[in-house]
Structure 1
């Protein structure tokens, strides 16, 4: 191992370097949706930190920033729905990631069996109940039990890689 390839750790990681290095790990993008119990209107947020956790019981997890103003509204619903976004849904992701305003303006959706928005064009939906929230730095890790799930539309996934959105071109 050449010292220039692996600089010694000093116990501190610069935020920009952290993003740059971890940005080399491609992730899918999901939209977490629900119906606001207070108004009955759809609410949601975008996340690229989503993973399956367990088959028995069926659990998934995602991370939400503590500064999110959308998560407390979504969290207020009895159940939430994870929408796996398709490659053409970058504008949907941007709209759900924006602060304020009507995040669902112009978006088409149908109801999942749990009653939450399933976005038109999403590859799959997963109805969940939040089981636990774990503080983790400037985010909270949300663990949710899967209640129902299904595929929805065909196509490739929306990917996030090195700070940009893209698509999967398939095996070489």
Structure 2
């Protein structure tokens, strides 16, 4: 009779571990960002969808990549894909205020993709999402316009540096693999 208790205990422990792992994965996606348009943006809003998160800056040589980010968003958003632009001053190339960033992007790039307020992406003061990336993936932006693709399950599906343009085959092939066939 005692041997029958051991398997049940083991099964109960495995169930508890699976529930804990599922809850931890869900909690990873629940990062809140302040929206440049007011209110908040949450990665949880896009749970079950791929999301490309990009740290951006208005005065960077890579700033023209906003056109490619908007094009990606336009191409795939109807299939459940999102782009989140995260302006950051960590590399000293962002404008002085959220309002200036918003106006700059509207005037020069006609962006309608989701965008956060100016947000730290490096070090102890980094946004919790970026601290999670550093802690769990060993990845952090090395410059502006570094890209991280979050898979529908909340895992990291890919990371790219500034020189990889948004519409490159390296990025689009990963996005397409994560989208429902349509």
The two structures have a TM-score, normalised by structure 2, of 0.25
> If each structure's helix is expressed as a fraction of its own residues, which one has the higher value?
2
TM-score by structure 1 length?
A: 0.26
Larger of the two Rg values belongs to structure: 2
